[in-house]
């Protein structure tokens, strides 16, 4: 395992340097948040059919960055807390929330320390999104432990994330060739990128803190880590579109902020949405998008993975009390070196 202090310090410096540029970029739409009280981030808008009503729920958004998704969830009626390790990012989040009068708490800390910082079993919903957020964490099993520790019995995890296959692809090559170049499975060693860019439209130039560390996690590794915490999978969706041109020169804009491969788009899942209950999970990724739903076991069910439901689409989610949930509908943050390729992702676990 990498030296914890080293990788956290390096990655935190990256996000600290870019927070102000992200807040000023039109891609984060802060002016629209200010001018329209009903405005929601593109990530949250995309997931509304899967998310269902969150009115009155207590939710936590892990790796919340400058808080636009967190505030969007608050506008949908949830009592939200955002957690991020970047002080500069949280400064922007608090400034935005304060200007909007949004009742959102923002807490600084490492995601692996979330249970200690926020309390065990306090949340109905863990929202984990960014389409490029899991890649900053070296150990997916520790992350799943944290998610399970935060959720109340019957709570949900909603995760939308970039598909791990997308993260494994090399930069675009001639003739539309999709080449696997980087790790698909989690490895102890990080992948280190070098570059001074970022994933949003900005004139800012970054000359320091340009070597972030990242890790990929296979879809099976993510699901298995959640199941190991007695979460029940209720939905898994993979999508053929992503909310940014992840393959420059190889994708068409298809509306609603989404891009799809021009040539034979069925070759690649770009995002995923999983859902889990007992402590429910939903997951969606961009480029490859999947939806997972995971929930803690219903009182009448054994706390095991028997009865696991895993499909490309699941029409009904079942809450921990046995009630039918909303229908499922098929449908970070980004790497700095290949910034245009990787930007967003999401998942749900309940």
* Residue 176 confidence (pLDDT): 73
- State how far the alpha carbon of 37 is from the alpha carbons of 59, 61, 69, 77, 326, in Å: 20, 20, 14, 13, 25
The reported pLDDT for the residue numbered 194 is 76
Under a CB-based contact definition with an 8 Å cutoff, are residues 161 and 290 in contact? yes
Of the chain, the percentage scoring pLDDT greater than 90 comes to: 41
Residues of the chain with pLDDT under 50: 1, 278-293, 297-350
> Which own/partner contact pairs does 25-33 have at CB distance under 8 Å and 24+ positions apart?
25/200, 25/201, 25/202, 26/201, 27/200, 27/201, 28/66, 28/68, 28/200, 29/68, 30/68, 30/96, 33/68, 33/71, 33/96, 33/100
Q: Note the pLDDT of residue 178.
A: 83
Give the chain's length.
Answer: 350
Radius of gyration of the chain (CA): 18
**Residues of 138-176 as b/e, b for ≥16 C-beta within 10 angstroms?**
bbbbebbbbbbbbbbebbbbbbbbbbbbbbbbeebeeee
Q: What are phi and psi of 237, to 5 degrees?
A: -120, 140
Number of domains forming the structure of the chain? 1
User: pLDDT tens digits for 149-184?
Assistant: 999 999 999 988 888 988 888 877 877 788 888 999
Specify the CATH number for the domain of residue 13.
Answer: 3.40.50.150
Nearest residue to 275 (alpha-carbon basis) of 160, 130, 107, 109: 160
Q: Cα 44 to chain center, whole Å? A: 11
Q: What is the pTM of this model?
A: 0.77
The pLDDT value given to residue 245:
78
What pLDDT does residue 95 have?
98
Residues 189 and 174: their CA atoms lie apart, in Å, by: 30
Helix (H, G, I), strand (E, B) or coil at 116: helix
- Domain holding 158, by residue range, is 4-349
Which of helix, strand or coil describes residue 136?
helix
Residues sharing a CB contact under 8 Å with residue 139, sequence separation 6 or more, in sequence order: 1, 112, 186
């Amino acid at each position: 395992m990498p030296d914890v202090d080293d990788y956290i310090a390096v990655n935190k410096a990256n996000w600290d340097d870019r927070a102000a540029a992200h807040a000023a970029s039109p891609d984060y739409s802060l002016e629209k948040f200010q001018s329209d009280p009903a405005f929601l981030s593109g990530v949250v808008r995309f997931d509304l059919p899967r998310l269902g009503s969150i009115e009155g729920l207590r939710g936590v958004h892990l790796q919340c960055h400058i808080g636009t998704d967190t505030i969007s969830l608050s506008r949908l009626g949830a009592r939200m807390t955002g957690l991020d390790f970047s002080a500069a990012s949280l400064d922007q989040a608090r400034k935005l929330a304060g200007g909007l009068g949004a009742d959102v708490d923002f807490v600084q800390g490492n995601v692996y320390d979330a249970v200690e910082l926020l309390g065990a079993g306090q949340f109905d919903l863990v929202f984990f999104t960014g389409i490029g957020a899991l890649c900053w964490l070296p150990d997916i099993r520790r992350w799943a432990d944290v998610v399970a520790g935060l959720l109340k019995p019957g709570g949900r995890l909603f995760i939308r994330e970039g598909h791990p296959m997308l993260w494994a692809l090399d930069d675009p090559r001639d003739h539309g060739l999709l080449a696997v170049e980087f790790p698909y499975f989690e490895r102890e060693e990080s992948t280190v990128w070098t570059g001074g860019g970022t994933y949003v439209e900005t004139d800012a130039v970054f000359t320091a803190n340009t070597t972030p560390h990242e890790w990929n996690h296979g879809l099976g590794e993510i699901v298995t880590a959640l199941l190991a915490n007695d979460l029940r999978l209720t939905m898994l969706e993979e999508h053929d579109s992503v909310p940014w041109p992840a393959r420059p020169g190889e994708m068409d804009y298809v509306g609603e902020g989404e891009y799809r491969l021009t040539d034979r788009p069925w070759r690649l899942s770009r995002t995923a949405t999983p859902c889990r209950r007992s402590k429910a999970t939903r997951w969606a990724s961009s480029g490859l998008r999947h939806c997972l739903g995971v929930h803690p076991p219903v009182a009448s069910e054994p706390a095991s993975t028997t009865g696991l439901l895993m499909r490309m689409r699941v029409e009904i989610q079942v809450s921990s009390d046995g009630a039918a949930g909303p229908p499922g509908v098929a449908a970070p943050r980004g790497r700095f070196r290949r910034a245009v390729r990787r930007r967003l992702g999401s998942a749900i676990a309940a």
